[in-house]
């Protein structure tokens, strides 16, 4: 099954601040960012996705502080496990801060940030304290980058296979002598292992351990049919779904391309929070 993805809900009707200030920093920290501008859209986001943390603007919408508190009420009553950071356009008096902490247990003692005194370092320190990254957690920006890098390596591998096929044709036509042919095969083999090594590195720590092991078996020259059988078993065991299982069943050609295809599909699902 897919590992947990870090995701933040930013509840703020100031689109520029939500997107370009808070959203920008959370994306830098590897979070999938969702933005809601009012109580209705915040409730919809919370009901449809799992969130690691939330920020709530207390002066939200036409109702002012009332609507911001209604968002906090909804989180407290339904998603109390989600820690919250309160965003305020002005200082919060100590007396009100004490009442807020008593009313909203998911807001920590120091979980307040003023827009007029905003500092990225303060936000990052607070987020890291409230939502430490656990082992196996998938940071969405890193996963997305990994998927793109896997796609490039897959293309490199196909290009290498084409070059190997062309070399085979040249040798059969007598255009290459045996020494040159064997040297090229060794060079291609080295390049292929290097590409597979890079693929394995990208799969580490992203919930793709079974695929990492499958690539290791390819490098050890284990039979491809045996690897496919193990992949089908893992697809059932890990709940990869019918789409992946059918892809394994129908695949023809090099096994590495199948493994990478599965990795990219699972990576995309992880980014989407599936």
Q: How far apart are CA 268 and CA 210, in angstroms?
A: 17
| Angle (CA) 36 37 42, round 5° | 40
Q: In whole angstroms, what is the distance from residue 33 CA to residue 185 CA?
A: 47
* Cα–Cα distance for residue pair 163/190, rounded to 1 Å: 14
Q: In sequence order, what are the residues at sequence separation of 6 or more whose Cβ sits closer than 8 angstroms to the Cβ of residue 254?
A: 157, 161
pLDDT reported for residue 274: 42
Contact 58, 86 (CB under 8 A): yes
Per-residue pLDDT 10s for the chain (274 aa) are: 345 578 899 999 888 999 989 998 888 787 889 999 999 999 999 998 889 899 999 877 665 557 888 999 999 999 988 989 988 876 666 666 666 767 787 777 667 788 887 888 888 888 888 877 654 455 555 566 677 788 888 888 888 888 999 999 999 999 999 999 999 999 999 999 999 998 888 776 566 778 888 999 998 889 999 999 999 998 888 888 888 898 998 888 889 989 988 988 887 776 555 4
Q: Please state whether 8 falls in left (phi above 0), alpha (psi between -120 and 50) or beta.
A: beta
Beta bridge pairs of residue 57: 87
Do residues 269 and 144 touch, judged by C-beta distance below 8 A?
A: no
In this prediction, residue 1 carries a pLDDT of 38
* DSSP-assigned letter for residue 90: S
The single residue listed with the structure tokens 């793709």 is 208
**Can you tell me the distance from the alpha carbon of 257 to that of 185, in angstroms, rounded to the nearest whole number?**
20
Q: Quick one: pLDDT at residue 206?
A: 61
CA 35 – CA 267 distance, rounded (Å)? 23
Residues contacting residue 206 through CB under 8 Å, at least 6 positions apart = 3, 138, 142, 143, 146, 267, 270
- Predicted TM-score (pTM) of this structure: 0.51
Q: What is the rounded CA–CA span in Å between residue 91 and residue 116?
A: 9
Domains, the chain, with CATH or none? 7-130 (3.40.50.2300), 140-272 (no CATH)
User: DSSP string spanning 171-234?
Assistant: HHTTSS-HHHHHHHHHHHHHHHHHHHHHHHHHHTTTT-HHHHHHHHHHHTT--HHHHHHHHHHH
Contacts of 96 (CB under 8 A, 6+ apart): none
Tell how far CA 180 is from the center of its chain.
Answer: 45
Tokens for 61?
């919408």
């Amino acid at each position: 099954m897919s590992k947990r993805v870090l995701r933040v809900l930013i509840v703020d009707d100031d689109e520029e601040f939500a997107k370009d200030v808070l959203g920008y920093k959370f994306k830098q920290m590897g979070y999938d960012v969702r933005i809601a501008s009012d109580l209705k859209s915040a409730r919809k986001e919370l009901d449809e996705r799992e969130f690691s943390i939330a920020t709530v603007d207390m002066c939200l919408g036409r109702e002012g502080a009332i609507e911001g508190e209604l968002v906090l009420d909804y989180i407290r009553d339904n998603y109390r496990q989600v820690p919250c950071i309160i965003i305020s356009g002005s200082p919060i008096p100590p007396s009100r801060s004490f009442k807020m902490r008593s009313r909203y247990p998911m807001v920590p003692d120091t979980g307040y940030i003023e827009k007029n005194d905003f500092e990225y370092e303060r936000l990052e320190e607070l987020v890291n304290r409230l939502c430490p990254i656990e082992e196996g957690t998938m940071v969405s920006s890193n996963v997305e980058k990994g998927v793109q890098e896997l796609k490039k390596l897959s293309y490199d591998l196909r290009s290498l296979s084409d070059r190997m096929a062309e070399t085979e044709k040249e040798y059969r036509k007598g255009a290459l002598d045996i020494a040159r042919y064997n040297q090229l095969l060794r060079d291609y083999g080295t390049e292929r292992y290097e590409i597979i090594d890079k693929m394995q590195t990208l799969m580490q720590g992203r919930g793709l351990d079974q695929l990492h092991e499958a690539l290791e078996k390819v490098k050890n020259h284990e039979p491809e049919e045996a690897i496919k059988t193990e992949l089908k078993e893992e697809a059932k065991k890990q709940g990869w779904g019918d789409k992946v299982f059918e892809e394994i069943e129908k695949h023809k050609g090099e096994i590495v391309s199948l493994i990478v295809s599965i990795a990219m599909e699972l990576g995309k699902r992880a980014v989407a929070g599936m």
